[in-house]
Amino acid sequence: MKQTAYTVSEVRSKTDWIAFHGLSKTIYQSYPHLSPIPEHEARRLLNQRKNPYFRTYRLIALLCWIDDKPAARITIHIPRDLNSSSVATFGFFECIDDLNACSALLKRAENICRASGVSALEGPYNPSAGSISGIQLTNFSSPNVYTEACSPRYYAALLGECGYAPTAYGRTFRRDNTDSRVAQMRKLEATGKYRIWNPNRVQLAVAFKALEEIFGASFANNRAVQPRSYESDLYAALGLLDAWMRDSIHIVYDGNLPVGMIVCLPDISEIVKNYPGRNSLFRRFHIWRRKKSATRLIVYAMGVKEGYRNTAAAYLLAQSFMQTAERFEYIYSTWITEGNDPPAKLADRFGLKPWKRFAMYGTTLESTKLIHHPFPIQERSTL
């Protein structure tokens, strides 16, 4: 009887990249209620020439094959300066339900990291300031919202059997706007001291200067967020422009000082799924036309600087946001790390309750030992 051969190769050619992106489509055909990251967005994030993330990280993409069919994929991001960080991250992890394929892929990734002087490997983080992060642990039957991580139930077990352990947990939150038990937010009139600004798309560059300042103060403990910079935040935001609406950003100012912000967008996951492929004008037009009927609102980021969290500034920000939220049936948050209390308390203030749970996984690497496989592994450079 012929023994199955597992081959692992680096993704280099155009054919390799087609197989890399095609694997996600193959896996999620069995999970039609889930919406993985769109191919055009994955390609944009993996563009080493344009993505600011790759100024500080080196990208290597891998595919595991079973008899010339792609079975698992991963990207690894190795710090260019190991003096500042010796931890590599991985992203875009997808795998069929096959332990040998998963093990082959991860061991090859570990060997590459080990040879590069890396001490640990952790993920999944996608290479973006607004990273889609984590392995889903609960609520597998519920659809995910746009850019929320999703994965089949068996992913956590595969990583665990390959020697990876949870390094951090996070939750997303949800509120049902039709739930009469949720108390209405206290309404306050704007005062001369505090004011709200809702920037439009043309003003994004200016708005992100303010957001960067608030992010630094409010999200220092959120493990799901990659190291931030003005350029990386702006590049991440470009992937969300399809979902942009006139009041997506709410910033509260104390005079000229930005002290709090909320970034929210309609969920366009189902719309995007119906218009796959490259980000053409035709596709963008249909998304723009149909997103007006979206019923779910996603809070991508929210934070208030310390010292303003129980003041009229926070309530004014909440009032402005709730005027937007009233147009939607549901409100969702993105990942909030367990133990990062300020964003969780702010979510609770808006009536959002814990919804899905996720975990980051990692392993330490011994620099003196390469991993050998108990089953046939062959190297291949091209398809």
pLDDT digit string (tens) for the chain, length 383 residues: 566 789 999 999 999 999 999 999 999 999 999 999 988 889 999 999 999 999 999 999 999 999 889 999 999 999 998 877 789 999 999 999 999 999 999 999 999 999 999 999 999 998 886 667 899 999 999 999 988 999 999 999 999 999 999 999 999 999 986 554 444 444 444 455 899 999 988 887 788 788 877 876 555 555 444 556 777 777 887 788 888 888 999 999 998 899 999 999 999 888 887 666 566 676 777 777 788 888 999 998 888 888 888 888 988 998 899 889 999 999 999 888 898 887 788 788 788 899 999 999 999 997 544 343 333 333 332 22
Q: Are 201 and 259 in contact (CB under 8 A)?
A: no
Same domain membership, residue 86 and residue 45: yes
Same domain membership, residue 200 and residue 334: yes
Looking at the domain assignment, is residue 189 inside a domain? no
Same domain membership, residue 28 and residue 138: yes
Same domain membership, residue 221 and residue 166: no
Q: Are 235 and 50 in contact (CB under 8 A)?
A: yes
Looking at the domain assignment, is residue 186 inside a domain? no
Looking at the domain assignment, is residue 1 inside a domain? no
Looking at the domain assignment, is residue 303 inside a domain? yes
Distance CA 111, CA 377 (A): 13
CATH number of the domain enclosing 227: 3.40.630.30
- Report how far Cα 331 is from the mean position of its chain's Cα atoms: 18
Same domain membership, residue 149 and residue 252: no
Same domain membership, residue 263 and residue 144: no
Looking at the domain assignment, is residue 178 inside a domain? no
Sign of dihedral through CA atoms 133, 260, 146, 339? positive
Total domains in the chain come to 2
In 3D space, the residue among 65, 66, 63 whose CA is nearest the CA of residue 74 turns out to be 63
Same domain membership, residue 345 and residue 275: yes
Looking at the domain assignment, is residue 251 inside a domain? yes
Looking at the domain assignment, is residue 187 inside a domain? no
Match 């992203």 to its residue by tokens. Answer: 91
Distance CA 268, CA 163 (A): 36
Same domain membership, residue 133 and residue 106: yes
Q: Are 96 and 48 in contact (CB under 8 A)?
A: no
Range of the domain at 219: 194-355
Same domain membership, residue 328 and residue 236: yes
Match 């708005």 to its residue by tokens. Answer: 207
Same domain membership, residue 299 and residue 225: yes
In 3D space, the residue among 49, 50, 42, 104 whose CA is nearest the CA of residue 72 turns out to be 104
Distance CA 104, CA 134 (A): 21
Same domain membership, residue 365 and residue 275: no
Same domain membership, residue 243 and residue 101: no
| Phi/psi of residue 73, nearest 5 degrees | -145, 160
